[in-house]
């Protein structure tokens, strides 16, 4: 039902990035891979600086074992939004699956360091 409402919102405003992104996430949760990929690409076309679109597309690629694409997308998300420990953790997971153990460990360490730093600030 959520997908239907997001689709209606997109019909009213085809450039509504938030609605397209949320429909993409809904498609991903429903395992509608092609629909999710199309929605995430549309968000990127509308807003090339959307780290959320790259993050979610990386998550989808990772889920369907497309690790090269996943690593590329999560790296782009990190360029757009550096310092996000969740993104470093996802990239570490992906790199581990790709056999890039050294790089995966570096990303895990970065994620931990960011979390430790943010807990010290609070």
55 found inside a domain: no
Nearest to 21 by CA among 32, 36, 31, 34: 36
In a domain, 33, yes or no: no
10 is a domain residue? no
Range of 109's domain?
Answer: 70-122
> Would 31 be classed as within a structural domain?
no
Against a cut of 0.85, is the pTM above it?
Answer: yes
Residue 3: inside a domain: no
Residue written as tokens 């050294």? 102
How high is the pLDDT of residue 122?
A: 63
Whether 37 is covered by a domain: the verdict is no
DSSP 81: S
Look at residue 120 in the predicted model and tell me its pLDDT: 79
With 90 as the cut, is the pLDDT of residue 96 above it?
yes
Number of domains in the chain: 1
């Amino acid at each position: 039902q959520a997908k239907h409402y997001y689709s209606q919102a997109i019909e009213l405003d085809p450039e509504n990035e938030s609605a397209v992104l949320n429909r993409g996430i809904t498609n991903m949760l429903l395992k509608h891979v092609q629909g999710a990929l199309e929605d995430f690409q549309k968000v990127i076309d509308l807003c090339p600086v959307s780290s959320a679109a790259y993050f979610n597309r990386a998550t989808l690629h990772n889920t369907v074992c497309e690790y090269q694409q996943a690593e590329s997308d999560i790296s782009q998300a990190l360029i757009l939004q550096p310092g996000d420990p969740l993104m470093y953790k996802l990239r570490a997971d992906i790199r581990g699956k790709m056999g890039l153990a050294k790089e995966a460990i570096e990303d895990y360490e970065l994620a931990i360091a960011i979390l430790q730093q943010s807990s010290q600030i609070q």
